[in-house]
Structure formats: C-alpha cells, structure tokens
Amino acid sequence: MKAPLAGIRVVDLTMVWAGPFGTRLLGDYGAEVIKVEGPGQWDLLRGLGGIPRTVDRWYNRAAYFNHNNRNKYSAAIDLRQEAGRDLLLQLLAKSDVLVENYRANVMDNLGLSFEEVRAVNPRIVYVSMPGHGKTGPEAHYVTYGTNVEQLAGLVSVSGYEGGEPLKTGFSYGDPTAGLAVPAAVALGLRQRNRTGEGVHIDLAQRENLTGFVGEYLVDYSMNRELRAPAGNTHPHFAPHGVYRSGGEDRWITIACENDEQFAGLCRAMQREELAEDERFATVAARKANEQELNAIIEEWTSTWGHYEAMHILQRHGVPAGAVLTIPEVMSDPQLRARGAWSEQVHPDAGAWEVETPPWKLPRTPGHARIPAPGFAEHNSYVFRDLLGLDEETIARLYADGVTADEPNVQSHT
C-alpha cells in the first residue's frame, strides 16, 4: 500500500532544524521532498559536522545535516537572482507544497510571497514557519530554538523546585515546530482537495509551543498567580521524582499515584512496614512527608543499576523508568524491538544508524528510504526531468551562478 503522502511533491526551502525535521517527516511518509539551497546560501548544518574542511566534500558528511535531511532530493538555486526565482516558480508550478522557515519578510523580499506563488500555482499549500509568525510587531525579530521556548512561557515554569527558570536540554522549540508540519500539510491538502484552492499556513513556532503549557496560561488568567518551577515533583502525588542509582550519574524515575502502587514499591524494597507507617499510609501523608520518603527510596535505588531497579519495580506494578543516556537510548531493548533504528549508507558519509519513522501506520508505513542528498545531487533530475530545460539553458544557469554542483565554501565560515 502506498505511503500517506505518496504522489505529493514538496519544495523545501527550510534550513537548520525546525523546518528540515518537519520536511523529513513528510519524506518519511512518502512525499517527494526537494530541498533547495543557494550555492552561497546553503544549510549551515552542513558546516556543523566537525568534519575538517580539508576532507573531500566535507559539506556532505555532517552527521547533523544528514540526520535531518534523509528522504530528500537536493537542488541548488540562487533565489536572489531573477533567473533563480523564475526557476523556483517553475518548480513550484509542478509541486503541491512549499515549506519555508525564514524570518517573516524574507520570502516577500525574494518575490516569493504566497500571492506570487499562487499566481503560478493556485493549488499550492504554502507553509511558513517563522519563530514569531508572519505578522505582528515582533515578526521581524531573529529567533532560534532556545529563544522559542523562552518566548513560549515554557522556561518560566521549568527548573528545580524553588529554583530559577531553566532551559530545556536542547533547542526544544525546533522539533516541536517540525512535529506539527505533517498535520498542517495534511489539513492544507485536505482543504485544497475540497475547495480546489491553495492555502497559506502560518505556523509561529512560539505559538505552537505555548500550546504545550496552555494549562499554565488558563490558570494564570483565572487566578493571577505565577507558579514557580516544581522540579520533578507532582502537585498531589509522592513519591514522584528522580533517584540516584548505582553507577556514575545514573538515575531512575519513580511515580506512585495510589496506595496500591506504593505498596508495590514497599514490597520491592522489602520495606513492607512503610505502607502501614502513618507518615506514608495515604496519598496526602506521602506528599506531606515527601523528603523523608525520598531519602528512604534513594537508599534502596542506589544499590541497583537503573535498568535493574526499573524491572524490579515494574514487576511489582510500580511506574518507574530509567533516565537513559543517548548511548542507552540507542541500545534500549524496547526501541530495538520496535525497530526504531536502521542502518543507512551515505555515499560520502558512510554507514551509520538512524531512527526509523516514529509513527507506525501498518497499512501505509513510512520508511527511511534514501540517505540525505549531497549538495546539488539532484540538479539534473530537477532541471532536466522535472522542468524539461534544454542543455543550453542549463549551461547558462551554471555559467551565471544561478546553480552550481558545489557550494560556495566561503559562506558560513
């Protein structure tokens, strides 16, 4: 059975993480994604691979770039030149979807606004995903992933109990915006199929992420009280936290939501008397004496490996999970059993393991089909096969620097 997005062509102008992750998901689920970079305006992740620039085609070898751009084709077009803009519009005329994540006014300045694209393709689903959205007084502000989580309100409620607001562990705003892209595109395609008309989707990364802390906003709006960071604690339940386990910097999470689970924890620790102890016998008592309880639990967890403790606790019906490091995520038996990794071979970068498409749609599965493209690898497919340009025209595009087979390595130093 065909993948859900089979037959859908996507022109991908996105760079770095949020956009490329979103379009990678489109490719995972069957769309033909053509990533367009300028000879001098290439995706800067190509340069963030730690590959010495003395190595041949270093710009095709960066793990971070290759990770976010599998299942895509690559064409080089300089959109700042009139001929490049024309070329892109020809491609868009034969496509279903455009995705871009430039700052709000960049596409307009390139002469590639929704209206201008719609003039050549009235059925285009045009997805913009700038940090602040396409409109508003802050639309032109520059913003990246860690800024997004700060603007979204998430950082203000994150952190250790009683502590300062805390960053997430990475540029969390980026992938959370990317995750919305398949749904936004699906809704856009649905609307297009129904009305015959294209649609402009404006996905402001900060607004999308504010949706992940909506209850705090409703709460504040009703009660006018700001909530301090709560660390790993839960408003009602204890134990609910992270505990040191055996090994250097290894930890396990445990979360008991009722008496039955707590009794299981006591049995697992061979401390059954604690379930009857008046300090811990009820949900309210455990919450009131949380610190004391946590110390007792950590005494036990620190004698076990985090995985071992997890398995023991789960056998007693206790919600518990190891705090996995990245190497542990990659070797985790559950993810292995699910088929979460597959080997991919890249002609320049070699073989390594990548995640498989995350969602199982058994009748219309996604696949990690092709590795990330080398720079301009599919120029010929796009210019000759798709656009039907003759050799003379193509030669002129190269001569004028509208396209190239290699990136200008002077940019992004």
HEC profile for 20-39? HHHHHHHHHCCCEEEEEECC
CB 31 within 8 A of CB 9: yes
- Specify the residue, 278 or 327, whose C-beta has the smaller distance to other proteins: 327
Among residues 20, 84, 153, 373, the one that binds other proteins under rule CB under 8 A: 153
Residue among 78, 96, 174, 348 flagged as catalytic = 174
Report 249-288 residues binding other proteins (CB under 8 A): 249, 251-253, 255, 257, 261
Cα–Cα distance measured from residue 243 to residue 115, given in angstroms and rounded to the nearest whole number: 56
Nearer CB in complex with other proteins: 79/184:
184
For other proteins, the binding residue among 57, 93, 123, 229 (CB under 8 A) is: 229
Instruction: Pick out residues in 41-70 that bind other proteins (CB under 8 A).
Output: 44, 48-50, 63-64, 66-67
Residue 39 as a binder of other proteins (CB under 8 A): the answer is: no
Residue type, position 160, single letter: Y
Q: Which helix (H) or strand (E) holds 320?
A: strand 320-322
Q: Which of residues 8 and 397 has its CB atom nearest to other proteins in the complex?
A: 8
Number of residues that bind other proteins (CB under 8 A): 148
Please, which residue, 111 or 175, has the CB nearer to other proteins? 175
Binding segment for other proteins among 76-84, 90-98, 115-123, 132-140 (CB under 8 A)? 132-140
Here the tokens at position 250 are 């290894």
Q: What 8-state DSSP symbol labels residue 116? A: H
Whichever of 227 and 384 has its CB closer to other proteins, that residue is 227
CB burial string 267-291: b at 16+ within 10 A, e below: bbbebeebbeeeebeebeebbebbe
- Counting contacts by CB under 8 A, is residue 223 touching other proteins? yes
Q: Does 388 bind other proteins (CB under 8 A)?
A: no
Task: Return the residue of 20, 182, 371, 374 that touches other proteins, per CB under 8 A.
Answer: 182
Out of 106, 230, 281, 394, the only residue in the binding site for other proteins (CB under 8 A) is 230
Q: How far is the CB of 152 from other proteins (least distance, A)?
A: 7
Candidate ranges 52-60, 80-88, 202-210, 389-397; the one touching other proteins (CB under 8 A): 202-210
State yes or no: cis peptide before 235, omega within 30 of 0: no
Interatomic CA distance for residues 188 and 199, integer angstroms? 6
Q: Does 108 bind other proteins (CB under 8 A)?
A: no
Bin 126: left if φ > 0, else alpha if -120 < ψ < 50, else beta. beta
- What phi and psi, each to the nearest 5 degrees, are found at residue 200? -105, 120
Rounded-to-integer distance, Cα 19 and Cα 72, Å = 13
User: Measured in Å, how far apart are the chain's first and last C-alpha atoms?
Assistant: 45
Q: Give me the sign of the Cα torsion angle 30, 49, 85, 127.
A: positive
Among 54, 56, 162, 194, binds other proteins (CB under 8 A): 194
Nearest to 252 by CA among 232, 267, 235: 232
Residue type, 336: R
- CB closer to other proteins, 245 vs 379: 245
Give yes or no for residue 154 binding other proteins (CB under 8 A): yes
Minimum CB–partner distance for residue 353 and other proteins (Å) = 5
Nearer to other proteins, 232 or 408 (CB): 232
**Is 166 a binder of other proteins (CB under 8 A)?**
yes
Q: What is the largest CA-CA distance in the chain?
A: 87
Residue 340 beta carbon to other proteins: minimum distance, rounded to whole angstroms: 5
Q: What is the 3-state secondary structure of 78-89?
A: CCCCHHHHHHHH
- If one asks whether residue 234 binds other proteins (CB under 8 A), the answer comes out as yes
Q: Which CB sits closer to other proteins, 119 or 329?
A: 329
Beta partners for residue 100, in sequence order: 128
Within positions 345 to 384, which residues make up the interface with other proteins, using CB under 8 A?
Answer: 349-350, 352-355, 358-364
Stretch that binds other proteins, among 89-97, 141-149, 269-277, 395-403 (CB under 8 A): 141-149
In angstroms, rounded to a whole number, what is the distance separating the alpha carbons of residues 241 and 233? 6
Would residue 174 show up in a list of annotated catalytic residues for this protein? yes
For the annotated catalytic residues, the residue numbers are 174
